[in-house]
Structure 1
Amino acid sequence: YAMAKKKSIWEVYLRPNTLTKENDRDCIADVHAHAATQRNEDIAELITKERTEFRKETIINILNMRDKAVKDLIQEGISFMDGLVQISPRVSGVWATENAPYDEKIHKRTVDLIPTADLRTVLDAIGVKVMGAKEESARITAVTDTATGLNDGTLTIGDDIIIEGNKLKIDETDAAQGVFFRLADGTEHKVTRRLSVNQPSQIIARVPATVPAGKVEVVVKTKFLKGKGTLKEMRTIVYGYPCTAKV
């Protein structure tokens, strides 16, 4: 008889969950990508390997025409379903009243992607293997107050703190990047003084005198990328541990 098909396994790496405030130990999973994101060209390559009578260019053209046809349907507000997913147009956001107009600032045109029964069956059969902690994800692992030597979340206003972690380095010529102290109401106080240490694994920053005493979040905004180049989008790294600024 035919051998049982090899069970598919997703390998996941765990990283700290920054969204839950009450628990600073819980984690979320990232599925490990064994290859780069695949595109129509890659699909065409796979099809022509299996079925030699099809030319790769022909397949790419068909797939691209299919993409355009689906895009046109979505533009018309029509849902589309193939063997894998259903794509449905949706406008997200909340309207204050039944007569309120569409508002660019609070509403958004988007789509929902829902797996078909066939894809759900496939998903149900996949095994998941936890590989442990994710290395080198951008994060703040510790903040030490140099005035007291403590890393218990207390920060001395007007003194230096040592921020340790991964991928923290800031481009100080970009005003949008930097170390910020975020208050409960969302206002942010930026460190304006030059950073005495500015490395991917460590930043030393002076807590601005303008920061009021009380609860604060330590935030690093950076476009740092390992190797050459920079991130297109700003990366905001929030220290998950509650901090208190003191005089």
Structure 2
Amino acid sequence: MADKTILSVDLYDNVLTEKQGDYSGKVAITGSCHNIDIAKLIVKERTEYRLETIVNILDLADQKKVELISQGKSLADGVGQYLLNIIGSFDGEAPTFDPEKNRFGVTFTPGKSLLNALKNLIPHFRIAKTGPVINSITDSTSQSVSQMITPNAPAIIAGAGLLLKGSDPSVGVYFTPDGEGKTPVKVNLIVSNTTSQIIIQMPQLADGQYWLSVTTQAGAGYTLVKEPRTYKFPILLTVDSQSDDDDRPVIE
């Protein structure tokens, strides 16, 4: 029998209902992993291959998978199956692709191994600490949701407890480049701010991937807490100045 895995699930008041004691849950993300981390785990299993060799193979596999998916192939690996789809409606039998309403996307279906792993998860429920929560970020230029971000352009952060309040210098919105020891870039211009939304002017960011985080001292009922609280959005965001925003894939 496969080992059981206990995962912490934070409970938040369900804002969609008025029922007392009704909560929604968020799995507590415990970190992020890349091919280098996977390679280290493989090496730990006493494989005869060098770490650099494994990383190179994993990176090459990722590149070939992207190529095959973009060619319209159905790709099934050890995690799941990927299929291209096309979003939006079309007028007539010989329509024109309209980037304003049509977009290519990717549908992901979990594979057998992943589905079996999900059966062995045990939730450990806990009431979430009062603090900021990010649900999504929408890039106003491309309308991409929690995927692509455009430097020097407006973006909308949605969530709960997002009121930026407090005198601590750490209070604010940050974009941190992916990787160890990277310096966070603080957002200088906050266009508007409520408990559920922050509209920002994106800072100047180089091409790459970034973690979004929000730090505030705002507590329940517009009170202040002594120590700043930070929420790190668990989805990596991408800046790619060479890409056509309207043709960027959407993973469902």
TM-score bracket, normalised by the shorter chain, equals: 0.5 to 0.7
Deviation at 1:130, TM superposition (A): 1.2
Q: Is the 8 A contact 1:73 1:80 kept in 2?
A: yes
Matched residue, 1:62: 57
Q: Secondary structure at the match of 1:73?
A: helix
Distance in 1 between residues matched to 2:93 and 2:14, nearest whole Å:
37
Distance in 2 between residues matched to 1:179 and 1:125, nearest whole Å:
39
Distance in 1 between residues matched to 2:229 and 2:127, nearest whole Å:
23
Are positions 1:13 and 2:2 aligned together?
A: no
Deviation at 1:21, TM superposition (A): 6.1
Structure 2 vs 1, CA of residues 176 and 27 (structure 1 numbering), >3 Å: closer, same or farther? same
For the pair shown, the structure with the greater C-alpha radius of gyration is: 1
TM alignment of 1:124-163, pairs within 5 A: 124-138=119-133
Identity %: 28
Q: Secondary structure at the match of 1:11?
A: strand
Q: Is the 8 A contact 2:88 2:103 kept in 1?
A: yes
Matched residue, 1:178: 193
Distance in 1 between residues matched to 2:3 and 2:106, nearest whole Å:
34
Deviation at 1:52, TM superposition (A): 3.9
Matched residue, 1:28: 24
Q: Is the 8 A contact 1:12 1:30 kept in 2?
A: yes
Amino acid at match of 1:69: K
Structure 2 vs 1, CA of residues 55 and 135 (structure 1 numbering), >3 Å: closer, same or farther? farther
Distance in 2 between residues matched to 1:40 and 1:177, nearest whole Å:
38
Are positions 1:201 and 2:218 aligned together?
A: yes
Matched residue, 2:38: 43
TM alignment of 1:231-246, pairs within 5 A: none
- With structure 1 as the length reference, what TM-score do the two structures score? 0.54
Q: Is the 8 A contact 1:9 1:129 kept in 2?
A: yes
CA deviations 1:47-98 (Å, max 9, x no partner) are 0111241100000000000000001001111120012210111112233555
CA deviations 1:7-56 (Å, max 9, x no partner) are 112211122345x367686432111123x211100000000111241100
Matched residue, 1:151: none
- The count of corresponding residues between Structure 1 and Structure 2 is 165
Q: Is the 8 A contact 1:7 1:127 kept in 2?
A: yes
* Match among 86, 89, 98 for residue 94 of structure 1: 89
Are positions 1:166 and 2:183 aligned together?
A: no
Deviation at 1:120, TM superposition (A): 1.1
Unaligned ranges ≥5, structure 2: 135-159, 166-171, 173-186, 196-215, 220-227, 238-252
Unaligned ranges ≥5, structure 1: 140-164, 181-198, 203-223, 234-247
Q: Is the 8 A contact 1:167 1:226 kept in 2?
A: no
Q: Secondary structure at the match of 2:61?
A: helix
Q: Is the 8 A contact 1:87 1:111 kept in 2?
A: yes
Q: Secondary structure at the match of 2:191?
A: coil
Coordinate RMSD, CA, aligned: 3.8
Structure 2 vs 1, CA of residues 129 and 103 (structure 1 numbering), >3 Å: closer, same or farther? same
- With structure 2 as the length reference, what TM-score do the two structures score? 0.53
Structure 2 vs 1, CA of residues 179 and 53 (structure 1 numbering), >3 Å: closer, same or farther? closer
